[in-house]
Structure 1
Amino acid sequence: MTTRAASPMTSTQRWTLIAAVLGSAMAFLDGTVVNVALPALQRDFRASVADVSWVVNGYALMLAALILTGGALGDLYGRKRVFGAGVVVFAAASLFCGLAGTLPLLVGARLLQGLGGALLIPGSLAMLGAVFPPESRGRAVGLWSSATSVVTVLGPVAGGLLVDTLSWRPVFLINLPLAAAVLWFLRQVPESSAYQAGGVSGGVSERPRLDVPGLLLITAGLGALSAGLLDAGNGSGFRSTSLLLTLAGAALLAAFIWWEGRAAAPMLPLRLFRSPAFSGTNLLTFLLYGALGAALFFLPLDLISVQGYTAAQAGASLLPLSLLLAGLSGVFGGLADRFGPRLFLTLGPALAGVGFWLLGRMGVGGSYVGALLPAVLTLSLGMALTVAPLTSTVLGSVGEGQSGTASGVNNAVSRAAGLLAVALFTLLMLGRFGTSLQSGLARTDLPAAAQSQMMAQRSKLAQVPPPAGLGAAQTGQARQAVRRAFADGFSLVCSLSGLMALLAGVVGFFSLSGWKKAPVRAAD
């Protein structure tokens, strides 16, 4: 049997691949690079961590709520058209982010950026699928994955350098030339949709309607629940406002599930969850990516404000995570195809859980090689064991005719998990930090008035300033008490993240017993 050599790319395929890579890279970068800028944002806006967390959560909220709708819009009205609209919206929002003079304006711009990301992310792979035939599609997706991984690897380091040498604003403004390049390459990309003129693909007789009620319910539900948790952390617990928001968010999400079970064209087809493997892998995704989102939100704050790293050093410290994911995911994905995913989706999350636990043991002043690197390597290996087998299992659990929807659901689950975990863990972090700070200050020589002044600003976490008028020794004591209190709170976050990852491994073990790939069938 002879193997046919891969045919060279056509110019159309090459332009499409470049546009898809650059567009996706913008959205992926802004999901990670902003974390290293959070201490600078907190300092410049004199804001609490709960307030600044909306710079991350606003973006994640719109992605989680709208990414399924973005894919559907591309299928309906043209993938190139919707992808291009997403690039324009993303670029305009990036400009607003870079020029924002207040934190509310920045959060509003990040919400708009999330909308742009939700339009362009699903379209990148869909455009590749339209111009590459099945026999070369895998190679194209592999090139897309490798290129976006390289950009993701270098992004936090570049973002950290920009923050250190200039400010946090260029982290957003750098998207403008990238967007211009994407739009220039996009001119050479042909239009495609699931409903071409003169007929439709897949035997569908008419365009389905968008699930507008579902879209509104999930957006409002996730937003209200996150706002309620963050408001509780920013204040003094669950007061009337935070409690009302939290309960309203939970009720709206319950209404979303109810509606999706009755809608004619649901954005979240509940029938997919009849598959134990699909339900299990999405629960695993929720637990593991929630843990990852929470830990990686607080890690740069710890590295920069407690350990004394620069923003560039904080970004570079996570290079092993990106490099191991890029280098080993394909290897473990191939092994999972050969031996089955159960072992990988059990050991991978469990090993990641150990990595989270090690992160929480850094304390104050631990060295990179002795404290941080072992934790990052362990976490990286665990995630590399998990990512590719998880993706292939999600797709294989529902059959080929529903794989696109399954992938979109899993993507939305991972982003919703990070959104809710950051909100919940911010509440827990603020509680532990306040308790630990009060205890630490009581062991210092600071006057009672100075201690009270610092406790009143505890929502700033590691950036609580020592009061003016203290001597050098007392100022040092105050700063050390703040660092130790944050390290104590970060230890709690990492311990709970580790527990969530271990539970994800348990879910993988039990939900994939006797797992078999679903048969190929047409979409329902």
Structure 2
Amino acid sequence: MAQLSPLGLGHGPFADLHEGAAQIAIPDMMSGLGATLDQTLWVVSGYALTLSALIITASRLGDLHGPRTLFAAGLTVFTLAGIGWRWIFLVNVPIGIAALALTFLVVPDIRTSRAHRFDLTGVLLSGAALFCLAFGLQEGQNHHWGAGIWVLLAAGATLAAGFLFHQSRRQDREPLIPFALFRDRNFTAMTALVGLISVAMLGLVLPFNLYLQSVLGLSAIKAGLVLAPSSLVSMTVGPFAGRLADRIGGKYVLLAGVACYGAGIVAIAPMSTEAMRHVPPHLAGAASGVNNTVRQIGSVVGAAAVGALLQGRLAAELATGKTYAVAFTATLHTTAILPIAVLIAGAAVCLMLRDRVTAPAAPAAEAAPVGGARTGQPAALSR
């Protein structure tokens, strides 16, 4: 399963960088395009929604054509897209070229001889469900939470239920989501946590970014520099946090990081490590797809929820006669409740993790297979 680490390292920073660049540009897009906040938020939601609908599909295509081949193809398209778009995405190009070179140098080309099936019905059901739910949540305030919005949300919930039912009927035919994954308590807990963290990140960063530019008058570059340290620190120390989780158990590292989110952004890095720790190799592709999909769903839900909360509270504050700066500051205090509540739930999820179990050493008589280990070495280490 170690071969998945370079793929995760390539996807995580790239996705965070791209999404972060779009968030920083939101105030400029609003003024330049004359768009409202809920319209501009579709830049973030549309990206996360498309990604969440395709990640599980891509994981299955990776099983079919090889994860390295698929990852390199996606990385190439992503890098080329940075050349033909606004300058805020130009940073994708040098990082993409470096990541592409490392992909062929470091990532092994692993393929299975077994034929794989592609679940097109599952892809369509999940994509439609996500779109209906995201559109309903994000556009609810703009449409005054009318009957049409509630019909759309109900349709999304129905489609999601239909997707799960469809998956239950395909468990013996390569489903998009193998339910066997959720028998592992750590995987279930970490998949829930990664979604909650994504909601909290949007709930914290998006309003704060708008405050920096709309109220304090900082430029997009200065606001980006204010927000950059947390991402840079997380990317830099992530591998070390993963090793620390290996040594003392991810439960305690993650609990500390979630409880001290502001000062401890570093400590939530080993989520993927803990999620994948006990996953069987033959389910690794699906497990990675599910985990990353939930992460993007969290971004979609976070953008929709914070957008609705921000617009509703700001309108209420402005209606009292307050200036924009005073009204937005009061709104910022209210929207902070969302990430705080989500992080409390995340801390509770961390308590579900199993403590790290160290395999007991085998007796000396059993520890020396033919041509193998020194006397007294655990059999598990001698293989």
Question: TM-score if structure 2 supplies the norm length?
Answer: 0.81
Inter-partner Cα distance in structure 2 for 1:52 and 1:292: 18
Contact 1:65 1:412 in 2 (8 A): yes
Aligned residue number for residue 164 of structure 1: none
Q: Give 1:387's match in structure 2, choosing from 265, 269, 272.
A: 269
Inter-partner Cα distance in structure 1 for 2:71 and 2:154: 36
Aligned residue number for residue 31 of structure 2: 43
Distance 1:80 1:405, change over 3 A: closer
Contact 1:208 1:265 in 2 (8 A): yes
Per-residue deviation, 1:208: 1.4
Aligned residue number for residue 210 of structure 1: 118
Structure 2 counterpart SS, 1:295 = helix
User: What aligned pairs does 1:50-449 form with structure 2 within 5 A after superposition?
Assistant: 50-79=38-67, 81-87=69-75, 89-90=77-78, 94=82, 98=85, 169-172=86-89, 175=92, 192-195=109-112, 200=113, 206-235=114-143, 237-263=144-170, 264-352=173-261, 355=262, 378=263, 381=264, 383-388=265-270, 390-441=271-322
Distance 1:438 1:280, change over 3 A: same
Inter-partner Cα distance in structure 1 for 2:126 and 2:339: 25
Contact 1:74 1:193 in 2 (8 A): no
Aligned residue number for residue 452 of structure 1: none
Distance 1:225 1:391, change over 3 A: same
Q: C-alpha deviations, 1:219-274, integer Å up to 9, x for none?
A: 11111111111211223x21133222222112211222221222221111112112
Letter in 2 for 1:288: I
Contact 1:22 1:178 in 2 (8 A): no
Letter in 2 for 1:244: V
Distance 1:483 1:394, change over 3 A: same
Inter-partner Cα distance in structure 2 for 1:319 and 1:259: 42
Contact 1:64 1:412 in 2 (8 A): yes
Structure 2 unaligned blocks of 5 or more: 1-5, 360-383
Inter-partner Cα distance in structure 2 for 1:241 and 1:496: 25
Q: Give 1:497's match in structure 2, choosing from 324, 336, 339.
A: 339
Distance 1:397 1:494, change over 3 A: farther
Aligned residue number for residue 380 of structure 2: none
Inter-partner Cα distance in structure 2 for 1:257 and 1:409: 13
Per-residue deviation, 1:506: 1.3
Distance 1:94 1:220, change over 3 A: farther
Structure 1 unaligned blocks of 5 or more: 1-16, 99-168, 201-205, 356-377, 442-480, 519-524
Distance 1:331 1:176, change over 3 A: closer
Inter-partner Cα distance in structure 2 for 1:207 and 1:248: 35
Per-residue deviation, 1:330: 3.5
Letter in 1 for 2:304: A
Per-residue deviation, 1:402: 3.0
Distance 1:251 1:489, change over 3 A: farther
Inter-partner Cα distance in structure 2 for 1:484 and 1:284: 34
Inter-partner Cα distance in structure 2 for 1:334 and 1:501: 23
Question: TM-score if structure 1 supplies the norm length?
Answer: 0.61
Contact 1:272 1:278 in 2 (8 A): yes
Two-structure CA RMSD over aligned residues (Å): 3.1
Structure 2 counterpart SS, 1:342 = helix
Aligned residue number for residue 33 of structure 1: 21
Contact 2:59 2:285 in 1 (8 A): no
Distance 1:78 1:339, change over 3 A: closer
Inter-partner Cα distance in structure 1 for 2:52 and 2:331: 27
Q: C-alpha deviations, 1:367-391, integer Å up to 9, x for none?
A: xxxxxxxxxxx2xx2x211221x22
Per-residue deviation, 1:181: 8.2
Aligned residue number for residue 329 of structure 2: 487
Identity over aligned pairs, percent: 30
Contact 2:60 2:285 in 1 (8 A): no
Inter-partner Cα distance in structure 1 for 2:78 and 2:159: 28
Per-residue deviation, 1:488: 2.1
Per-residue deviation, 1:41: 0.6
Inter-partner Cα distance in structure 2 for 1:502 and 1:40: 33
